[in-house]
Structure 1
């Protein structure tokens, strides 16, 4: 497989290497972002920078501050972020990376001390962005316009995967099983809260109230008493004006990692994994349990499922991936009910990707190391043609 980009680069008068002079594939690692999942993106980037095969890849690191500024970052994982009070963030270091489409080619340029410099062309972008303004198709669309190859799902699939309402509509349209839910569109709660409460009662308690377009369990509340709905809606509305309310499903929470196939070969599913809560500190696998309280959850992979159920979970995961037009990677979360039925909860088109995150752990248990997985994802992105496909 040819790893180098075939795009032409214009003559470079700023001292950066021409594409023809390079041997290794040049990867732009993009992280941070404007969403509430900014710290998780930073943690993911540090893990990737530590594990990426430097014999195969040259790396350029670009961070996006919480205010939206693009800055040139260190490729040293120990220096890539500045710690805040609890979680890391991208600091404004005085540099300013020009957005890729601003230059009309694949050259990365940076303004430093008032001087425009080039750090050379890139062959592929690895966007380690979670949540809105990164995982939702916005950055993917920008990269498409710039004719830059990138790791992961395309514009439409990313947008669908970010919006839990449309995600469920797409899954239902492809015959995949989803649980009962109702969507509260912007303004509905403010205009007629009693009508929303009636819908919740019809779903049956408990329910989970979620921002429609957020991840990492941000803004999610479990409601076991309709009197708690006001508080839960207020929390969800902090993150998104559109809210989805899902009926509680009794079943085991199972996850499965999906990896795109080469050429016309089908996507591949890992061995499934399972999350089990330990102790009573958290009612469900919320943001704190995922990232701040290591002792609150136990992650098991492979999950203790019989062969038939394991095969069903893997099949459903690939079907969900294909339903949204998946490319590169996704993690599919399902419930396995007592009778063996598998219900799709959601798809994450840019799942947590730290060395201890479920996505790479499931692939490691399936025979693909973290470093190999990063290389495989970059190879898949390089194979993907530009434009419609």
Structure 2
């Protein structure tokens, strides 16, 4: 029996286009002899559209966007049927950013008791909010760069205080980020007070909470983590941007970056990276997959930057490349993720929901 797979992509997020690129890449990796594949597209406006079964890989992003024009918008029961003869065996969420990667859709799937690939509600929401993530990393004893955070109202009512706080606690340059967004959207580097103010203005377009991080001279190293209760790590990879930092344009548009896989690292450094990646995975209660991002200084000091609970699968993406170089090619990686999703779902069904 073929497994019935629902690909959930698009979304009401600034990372909508990234999600579409990921979905296109995933259709090209799926084994259509093993799976029945059903596209479920969420438009930029939040309208849900379920398409007819895909008989083969999608050729273009436009093909995926046109899927399901005739379906009834927002009739969730028609998108995620629960009847045994029509039920999807597993959902693959490919929604990056808010309204998808932040635990909202994961909560919907949990309530509907549907297996889905990737992290659950808690890990997704904590992993999306960079401030909450950093606070949990502190609890786990993970080394990281200093940071300052604030919300829109704080900034608008007392901008001078926050500028002075950044200058007092951090050193130039700093990186200004929306707390709840990924794919380097809305991130800017600031070398002085004027650039800080401009960077915060840019970041506030995307989120009400802003985090300002200390810049550090270091190598950017990433490690893939795969599993549920017993996570495994991939080889490490190094990002070498050909511009100031690894921004959205470099990631998804012009490929203006170099990836070195495996990264040239001392064995003891890699061992520590692996240890910290697993520690971050567990402190957030992750499952399925995570990409853990680190800084490694010239003195081999290791600083965790963040984890991405739904790393991209585009042609420029690090996560699948890390696993390919570890001996798990893209199609087999998808199969493993589907198996992990079903494994986790089956374990949850063992929980008692009635009191004796």
Q: Same fold (TM over 0.5)?
A: yes
2:4 maps to which of 11, 26, 30: 26
Q: 1:82 matched to which residue of 2?
A: 62
How far apart in 2 are the matches of 1:257 and 1:104?
30
1:133 lines up with 2:99 in the alignment: yes
Deviation (angstroms), 1:249:
1.5
CA-atom RMSD, angstroms? 2.1
Matched, 1:386 2:348: yes
Contact 2:40 2:67 in 1 (8 A): no
Q: Which residue of 2 aligns with 1:62?
A: 40
Provide, for residues 43-92 of structure 1, a one-character-per-residue CA deviation record: whole Å limited to 9, x for no partner: 11111111112222211111110011111236354356328xxxx96677
Task: Please tell me whether residue 298 in structure 1 is matched to residue 298 in structure 2.
Answer: no
SS of the counterpart of 2:264? coil
Pairing 1:151–2:117 present: yes
2:80–2:87: 8 Å Cα contact kept in structure 1? no
Q: Is the 8 A contact 1:101 1:146 kept in 2?
A: no
Any conservation in 2 of the 1:135–1:350 contact (CA below 8 Å)?
yes
Q: Quote the Cα distance in structure 2 between the aligned partners of 1:355 and 1:323.
A: 30
> Which residue is 1:18 aligned to?
none
Match of 1:168 among 113, 124, 134: 134
Conserved? CA contact 2:14–2:97, under 8 Å: yes
SS for the counterpart of 1:142 is helix
Q: Secondary structure of the equivalent of 1:372?
A: helix
Structure 1, residues 87-119: CA drift from partner, whole Å, max 9, x if none?
x966772323655468995249xxxxxxxxxx9
- Compared with structure 1, are the counterparts of its residues 240 and 364 closer, same or farther at alpha carbon in structure 2 (3 Å cutoff)? same
- The 1:230/1:98 distance shift into structure 2, 3 A limit, reads closer
Aligned equivalents of 1:158 and 1:136: distance in 2? Answer: 5
Instruction: Indicate how the Cα distance of structure 1 residues 290 and 314 shifts in structure 2: closer, same or farther if over 3 A, else same.
Output: same
Q: 1:162 to 1:77 in 2, by over 3 A?
A: same
| Structure 1 residue 218 displacement after superposition | 0.4
Deviations 1:309-366 (A, max 9, x none): 1111111111111110010001010001111111110010000112441000000000
- Distance between the aligned counterparts of 1:71 and 1:81, measured in 2? 15
Residues 203-256 of structure 1: per-residue CA shift (max 9 Å, x gap): 111100000001100000000011212211110000001100001012100001
The residue that corresponds to 1:289 in the other structure is 250
Q: How many residues align?
A: 346
With over 3 angstroms needed to count, the CA separation of the structure-2 counterparts of 1:335 and 1:349, relative to structure 1, is same
Cα drift, residue 386 of structure 1 = 3.4
Distance 2:241 2:80 in 1: 49
CA distance in 1, matches of 2:237, 2:272: 14
Match of residue 155 from structure 2 = 189
Contact 2:251 2:316 in 1 (8 A): no
Unaligned runs of at least 5 residues, structure 1: 1-22, 109-118
Q: Give, in angstroms, the shift of residue 137 of structure 1.
A: 0.2
**Residue aligning to 2:354:** none
Instruction: Select between 148-157 and 45-54 the one with higher mean Cα deviation.
Output: 45-54
> What is the distance in 1 between the residues matched to 2:238 and 2:289?
19
1:95 equivalent to 2:75? Answer no
- Give the 3 Å change call, closer, same or farther, for CA 120–80 of structure 1 in structure 2: farther
Change (3 A) 1:103 1:96: closer
Q: 1:337–1:103: structure 2 CA closer, same or farther, 3 Å change rule?
A: closer
- Could you say which structure has the higher helix fraction? 2
Q: Does 1:124 align with 2:100?
A: no
Aligned residue number for residue 115 of structure 1: none
1:50 has 2:28 as partner = yes
What 5-or-longer segments of structure 2 have no aligned partner? 352-356
Distance 1:370 1:287 in 2: 23
Of 226, 231, 248, the match for 1:267: 231
